[in-house]
Amino acid sequence: MCKLMKQSQTVAIIGSQWGDEGKGKLVDFLSESADIVCRFQGGNNAGHTVVINDKKYSFHLLPSGVLQNKICVIGNGVVIDPKVLFHELDTIRSKGFEPQLIVSSTAHVIFPYHNYIDELEEKHKACHAAGTTKRGIGPTYSDKAARFGIRIFDIVHPDIFKIKWDKFLELKKKMVVTLGGEWKFDDNAMFEQYVDYGKRLRPLMQDTAYFLNEALDAGKRIIFEGAQGALLGIDHGMYPYGTSSNTWAGGIPSGAGISPKRINKIVGIVKAYTSRVGGGPLPTELDDEIGHQIREQGHEYGTTTGRPRRVGWIDLVNLKYACILNRYDHIGFTLVDALGGFDTLKLCVSYILDGKELKKWPIHSEIIEKCSPKYIEMPGWKNLPVEEWRKIAKQGYDSLPKEIKDYIDFIENYLEVPISFISIGPNRKESIVRHPIW
């Protein structure tokens, strides 16, 4: 007779828009009651920022649960630049934290030539360029799919690494030349550098699928931390103006090695307005003084690149698509404080295409670029000082200005998902829990 497993509980935190929605803050907030936090896709093109006692911590590969001293897992679906990973580890240690990190043996490795190829490919794509961070993410996933990638296991074992290195490097050199580039790397120095990385990675490396499933069997609580947002995914996002991994909840089983049945709750993170980095049509984009004000109030500059983000009014059409795709149990609503100071706010409730109204997100960029937004208007709220927001956080949801509650109620009813967590400031405590997520 098979034994019964202990009750486990998992929560997935998924960006619902174009990334930068504030996932890191909610992961950090919920991590207090978790045992493990796992990244399952993306690479160091993602950036999560967490603020604790007015101190800012930025991550690109490390899961945000590191600040709560939780076991952090980088799953097989992540592509890893070891240089970036060790820089983050050294930085967080210098600030008094000691990460408990486990890295998947089957995660693929980013090399400097991937970054260079990324740059060359973007130039060739011209108007179809995705506006990547040029961190080598796409080319590394391309190698993975083509089955000549190099994995963590390989660089931990130099004899295995050398055989693949000698063979695969010739292909990369030919690709660089074909793209109009010039090979500018010291092959031997690069190989030895990655052998050194392998030595540092050896004590961190595990079969993370076994580790996670055994933890779930033991009743542990796990948070799966998404990177980017659902609308940037390779399969269900706006192609080609996105990233190279599956950014929705469906990426968890493949990127972490667990059954879909083991995902108990899915939380979508929604920003009070729209922002994004990269190319592609953005129907609600505000290229005016209002957009500038939102950008400055929301500090809309990329964690990874520092680039100013494109901003606009909230787009409920594509958010509804993200809700359908992920079937969220809860929504975490962020950056409410950054939308203060406007007499009137606009919410996009449908698109107009050739005189006809569309209520379903067309998904194809060629169609979306021809769409214009149809808005409803709602009253805005005052731009409150930080001390007032913190007072509201202590008092709870009922103390929010009526205009904010009306705004939240409309969005909740449109999306048909409860808005359970509300962020009204960057700090961990500047949060309101309306409905428990755990």
Catalytically annotated residues: 20, 48
d(CA 393, CA 384) in angstroms, rounded, equals 13
With vertex at residue 73, the alpha carbon angle to CA 248 and CA 298, rounded to the nearest 5 degrees, is 55
Cβ count within 10 A of residue 181: 17
d(CA 354, CA 214) in angstroms, rounded, equals 54
Strand 79-80 relative to strand 55-59, pairing: unpaired
* Three-state SS at 165: helix
Question: What are the tokens at 372?
Answer: 């214009």
Rounded to 5 degrees, φ, ψ at 56 are -95, 130
- Residue 253: C-alpha distances to residues 11, 32, 38, 73, 209 (Å): 13, 24, 12, 14, 10
The residue type of 285 is: E
CB neighbour class for 79 (10 Å; exposed up to 12, middle 13-18, buried from 19): buried
Rounded to 5 degrees, φ, ψ at 239 are -80, 135
Cβ count within 10 A of residue 235: 13
Cβ count within 10 A of residue 417: 24
- Residue 241: C-alpha distances to residues 37, 197, 259 (Å): 28, 32, 29
- Residue 363: C-alpha distances to residues 238, 270, 360, 368, 370 (Å): 6, 18, 9, 7, 12
Question: Nearest-CA neighbor of 241 among 349, 159, 163, 130?
Answer: 130
Cβ count within 10 A of residue 344: 10
With vertex at residue 106, the alpha carbon angle to CA 157 and CA 142, rounded to the nearest 5 degrees, is 110
